[in-house]
Each structure stands twice: as C-alpha cells, then as structure tokens.
C-alpha cells in the first residue's frame, strides 16, 4: 500500500501572504522611527530590532535604506505610464493624465503627493530622501516616455515622446511639490485638493496648444 508524503511547507499562497506581512511590518516600524528620529539618524539595526527580525531580513526586503521610506515607489514610477496605456477611446494622453490627476487630488491619494505632514516633513528634512524623490520623478518621466512612444508607434530615435513626457512630467512634478508645500504649511487635505485642482487646470491648460491631440487612443 502506497504511503502519502505530507509536506510541512506552507502553501505558496500562504508563504507569499506571510512575506507581504513581514514586509509591511518592517516598513511600518521603519516609517515610525524615521518620523520620530529622522531618516539620516535611524539605523537598519534599530529598524530590525523594532520589527523583531534580523538585519539581513530587512535588507533582503529593502536593499536600500531609502526603499524603507519610499516603499510604494514602483507604483509611483509606473503611474503616469499606466494612465496613458489605459486611456479611454478618443482620449489623448494629456486628457487622460489631466483626468487622472484630478481624480487623485480629490481622493487625496499618496501617489499624487498627499502624504500627511509627518511624512512630508521627513522627506523635506532628509537630503537623501529628497534626492531619491527627484530620481523617482525622473524614472516616472522615462516610463511615461516609453508609454507614449508605444502609443504613437514612434521610432526609437524620435524625440517627440521624450519631449511630451518631459512637459507632462514637469506639470506632475510641480503639482506634487505644491501639495507637499501646502501640507507642510499646515493645510488640510480638502483645502489642498481644492487648491491644486485649480492649479492643475491652469498647468495642464498651458499644454493644450501643443498636446491636445497627441497620443489619442
């Protein structure tokens, strides 16, 4: 009679769920310490101790210290490109991005810059995080350029998608910074949302003459 082999390893779905829980636990403790002590002053050893994991576990999940503070960076980098890829029929890239930003501002979404005063202060007080945030804006713009090139069938050496991405990325970068400034000034999200929604109308409107029909689905 054949005997069954019983595996002690948890199912793949359970293992992945456990990994996500551990990752979130480490991130939460890191953010708490960064806000309380400052990013530059907080060590990986302190984060590991707070999360009750080994230092190697922290660095396995977050190879760079900045990743612990900016742990949604992948979603941020791909946000504008996804908006263009998922634009509605008959909608230009500009119209899609304008609509998406307005929706994000009304919902006070973190990816648009609504991070709260503690988090915004942590970024502003850290040269390392401020520099990394600039890098993320650059990476987001590059991803947008790729999406625009694909949407328009542009040749590899065509500068048009990169130029359009630079213009659209600059508007998003400016609005993101404005949200951070108003947050640090003590304004609440509803007031900030109203302010930047009006500012977005003006900023995106400046691009209408050149990009109104660009990359229309």
Q: Which residues of the chain fall below pLDDT 70? A: 1-12
Q: Give residues with Cβ within 8 angstroms of 141, minimum separation 6.
A: 80, 165, 166, 168, 169
Spatial CA neighbour of 193 closest among 124, 56, 101, 93: 101
The tokens describing 128, both together, are 């390392």
Cβ–Cβ under 8 Å, residues 81 and 144: yes
**So where are the chain's domains?**
12-64, 73-211
Residue 15 has a pLDDT of 82
What pLDDT does 8 receive? 54
Q: What does the pLDDT read at residue 28?
A: 94
Q: HSE of 66 in the Cβ direction (CA atoms, 13 Å)? A: 14
- Taking the domain 73-211, which CATH number applies? 1.10.357.10
d(CA 40, CA 208): 42
Structural class in CATH, domain 12-64? mainly alpha
Q: How many residues does the chain have?
A: 217
- Helical H segments across the chain, by residue range: 12-37, 44-51, 55-61, 65-69, 73-85, 93-106, 117-124, 127-152, 160-184, 189-205, 208-211
Q: Beta-carbon neighbour count of residue 50 at 10 Å?
A: 16
73-80: long-range pairs with CB below 8 Å, 24+: 73/136, 75/111, 76/111, 76/136, 76/140, 77/136, 77/139, 77/140, 77/143, 78/140, 78/143, 79/111, 79/140, 80/140, 80/141, 80/143, 80/144, 80/147, 80/168, 80/169, 80/172
CA dihedral angle for residue 37, residue 43, residue 48, residue 51, rounded to 10 degrees: 10
pLDDT of residue 9: 55
Q: What pLDDT score was predicted for residue 4? A: 42
How far, rounded to the nearest angstrom, does the alpha carbon of residue 106 sit from its chain's CA centroid? 17
């Amino acid at each position: 009679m054949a005997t069954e082999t019983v595996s002690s390893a948890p199912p793949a779905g359970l293992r992945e769920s456990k990994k996500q829980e551990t990752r979130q636990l480490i991130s939460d403790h890191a953010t708490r310490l960064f806000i309380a002590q400052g990013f530059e002053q907080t060590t990986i050893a302190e984060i590991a101790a707070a999360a009750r994991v080994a230092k190697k576990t922290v660095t396995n999940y977050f190879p760079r210290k900045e990743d612990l503070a900016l742990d949604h960076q992948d979603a941020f980098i791909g946000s504008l490109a996804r908006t263009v890829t998922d634009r509605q029929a008959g909608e230009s890239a500009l119209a899609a991005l304008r609509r998406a930003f307005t929706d994000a501002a009304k919902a006070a979404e973190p990816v648009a810059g609504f991070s709260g005063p503690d988090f915004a202060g942590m970024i502003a007080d850290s040269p390392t995080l401020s520099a990394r945030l600039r890098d993320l804006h650059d990476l987001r713009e590059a991803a947008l350029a790729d999406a625009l090139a694909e949407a328009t069938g542009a040749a590899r050496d065509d500068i048009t998608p990169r130029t359009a991405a630079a213009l659209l990325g600059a508007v998003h970068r400016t609005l993101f910074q404005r949200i951070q400034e108003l947050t640090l000034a003590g304004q609440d999200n509803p007031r900030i949302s109203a302010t930047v929604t009006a500012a977005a109308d003006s900023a995106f409107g400046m691009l209408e003459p050149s990009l109104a029909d660009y990359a229309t689905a």
